[in-house]
Structure 1
Amino acid sequence: MTSQISIDDRDRKIVSILQADSRISNADLAERTGMSTSACWRRVKALEEAGVIARYGAVVDQEKLGLGFHAIVQVQLNRHDPEEVSQLIRAIEARPEVQECYATTGEADYHMRVVCEDIATYNAFLEDFLFRQVAVRAAQTNVVLKNVKRASGLSV
Structure 2
Amino acid sequence: MTTLDRYDLNILRHLQDNGSLSNQELAERVGLTAAPCSRRVKQLEEEGVIRDRVVRINDRAVNLNLTALLHISMDKHIPERFAEFEQAVAQLPEVMECYLITGHEADYQLKVVVPDMDRYHDILLGKITKIKGVSGVKSAFVMRKVLDSTALPLGYVKH
Report the TM-score when normalising by structure 1: 0.94
* CA distance, structure 2, for counterparts of residue 28 and residue 133 of structure 1: 47
* CA distance, structure 2, for counterparts of residue 83 and residue 155 of structure 1: 34
Aligned twin of 2:98? 101
2:35 pairs with 1:38:
yes
Q: Percent identity?
A: 32
Please identify runs of 4+ aligned residues in structure 1 that moved more than 3 A: none
Aligned pairs (5 A) from 1:43-62? 43-62=40-59
Q: Which amino acid aligns with 2:33?
A: S
Q: Which of 64, 87, 91 in structure 1 is aligned with 2:88?
A: 91
CA contact (8 A) 1:76 1:108 kept: yes
Report the TM-score when normalising by structure 2: 0.92
By how many angstroms is 1:117 displaced? 1.1
2:3 pairs with 1:6:
yes
Q: Which amino acid aligns with 1:52?
A: V
Aligned twin of 1:142? 140
Aligned twin of 1:123? 121
SS in 2 for 1:75: strand
By how many angstroms is 1:5 displaced? 3.7
Aligned twin of 2:13? 16
Aligned twin of 2:157? none
* CA distance, structure 1, for counterparts of residue 32 and residue 49 of structure 2: 19
* CA distance, structure 1, for counterparts of residue 152 and residue 43 of structure 2: 19
Q: Which of 130, 135, 151 in structure 2 is aligned with 1:153?
A: 151
Deviations 1:58-87 (A, max 9, x none): 111111101111110000111113222211
Instruction: Please list every run of 5 or more consecutive structure 1 residues that lacks an aligned counterpart in the other structure.
Output: none
* CA distance, structure 1, for counterparts of residue 113 and residue 61 of structure 2: 13
By how many angstroms is 1:8 displaced? 1.0
Q: CA RMSD in A?
A: 1.1
CA contact (8 A) 1:16 1:155 kept: no
CA contact (8 A) 1:20 1:152 kept: no
